[in-house]
Amino acid sequence: MSNFEAGPTEDALRDLRQLSPFPAEGGELIGRDPKDVPLPILSRYHREQNPLKALRLRCLDCCCGSAPEVRKCTAVACPSWPFRMGSNPFRAKRVLSDEQKQNMAERLAKARAA
């Protein structure tokens, strides 16, 4: 159930790789910097997602698509490990006042009515 099972298409390989510009690398193929790939081409192969979701998908790929295995992961040296549950544990939880909660509820009701 890997996210990468099918493998890249020939079009993706052509569009997302380039010859290395560094002479020491002998002209080997390298992945292009995503910032240098035009958005229409990048969007053809990768949908827009936030980085936490991308890390979560990578963890699922590593654990053969098993969410329980991601939860039980013991690879604590992995840079993705703290983010494997799809959230940033280093970010303080947002605490809302009753007034803020009421305002948010009113905005949501207004948006749903529109």
For 46-90, the pLDDT digits (tens) are 887 789 999 999 999 999 999 999 999 999 999 999 999 999 999
**Same domain for 35 and 76?**
no
> Is the pLDDT score of 102 beyond 70?
yes
Residue 95 and residue 113 share a domain: yes
CB-CB contact of 16 with 32 (8 Å)? yes
- Closest Cα partner for 31 from 12, 15, 18, 48? 18
**Same structural domain for residues 72 and 40?**
no
Residue 107 backbone dihedrals phi, psi, to 5 degrees: -65, -40
Q: Are residues 98 and 70 in the same domain?
A: yes
| pLDDT above 70 coverage of the chain, percent | 94
Q: Provide the token pair at 57.
A: 């998908």
Residues 6+ away with beta carbon under 8 Å from 27: 19, 20
Average pLDDT over residues 24-31: 91
The answer to whether the predicted template modeling score (pTM) of the entire model surpasses 0.75 is: no
| Residue 111 belongs to domain spanning | 51-114
Same domain, 15 and 40: yes
